[in-house]
Amino acid sequence: MFRKLLLIGLVAAVTVTEAQGQRSNWNKYYQKQLPEAEVRFSHGLLPLTYDFEFFDWQWDLFPRSVSDQYYDLQTYRGNLYSTGALSMAHSVKVAKWLEMGATLSYVGNFRNIYSTETNNAIGRETSNSIFFTPTMRFAWFNREWVRMYSSVGLGIGMMIKHPYSTNAGGATEPYIEWGPSVQLTGFGISVGKRFFWFSEVQTIGTLGVFTTGFGFRVTPDKRRWQR
């Protein structure tokens, strides 16, 4: 009887040890296979939306109608106010020097419309833009706490514009514009390990000419389901 109990105990111990070894090897395998992931939240200044004006030049490809031209003679527009580009991005590190991901951004613009006769505000012009931009980020300086990089992004955007909404409650039908979403970043820097701050300058595109924000990284050995 004692020999049987001893034999059962030895078999159980060997089985548990083997299972623990397989689990350890399984975790190590997935830690090697799963890449580092990154999530970012940012704010960009002066994004190039489809109603962006630069020295009275606009992206509009179609001439204005006669009614629009007559309306322009009776009114003038005030300063343009913008939320800037509010963005959320996700990327995966596919190589030591390369990250691939996508950015989802929102930009809201508005300005008042004034009467040329009374100089009173008689309406408001608003637009809401959404951009989806797949991005490739190239790290040319990569350390534990500091990373410097450049990036390029190309995607699609949509702008919903309400040209004339009057203070009396009337409004024209909104229209939708589709177009490309392009973002080029010459210099970007991130500081931190798991939680980090970042800033991007020398940029141009639909996400802003100057971007700053924060983010966090998830590495395979810190994911709960692997433990």
Return the CATH number at 201: 2.40.160.20
| Same domain? 164 vs 95 | yes
| Same domain? 9 vs 78 | no
pTM over 0.85: no
| Same domain? 4 vs 100 | no
Q: What is the pLDDT of residues 98-119, one digit of tens each?
A: 999 999 999 999 888 888 778 7
Q: How many domains, in total, are found in the chain?
A: 2
| Same domain? 173 vs 135 | yes
- With a cut of 50, list the residues of the chain below it in pLDDT: 2, 4-17, 19, 26, 29-31, 54-57, 59, 222-227
| Same domain? 29 vs 47 | no
pLDDT at 198: 96
| Same domain? 57 vs 103 | yes
| Same domain? 99 vs 7 | no
Could you list the residue range(s) of the whole structural domain that residue 159 is in? 36-226
Backbone angles phi, psi at 29, to 5 degrees: -65, -45
pLDDT at 108: 93
Among 157, 154, 173, which Cα is nearest to 165's?
A: 173
| Same domain? 105 vs 170 | yes
Give the integer Cα–Cα distance in Å for 145 and 152. Answer: 23
> For 32-70, b where at least 16 C-beta lie within 10 A, e where not — what string?
eeebebbebebbbeebbbbbbeeeeeeeeeeeeeeeeee
Assess contact for 160 and 50: CB atoms under 8 A. Answer: no
| Same domain? 90 vs 163 | yes
pLDDT at 7: 47
| Same domain? 75 vs 183 | yes
| Same domain? 112 vs 58 | yes
| Same domain? 78 vs 181 | yes
Q: What is the pLDDT of residues 146-185, one digit of tens each?
A: 999 999 999 999 998 877 655 555 556 778 888 899 999 9
Which helix (H) or strand (E) segment holds residue 26: the answer is helix 2-33
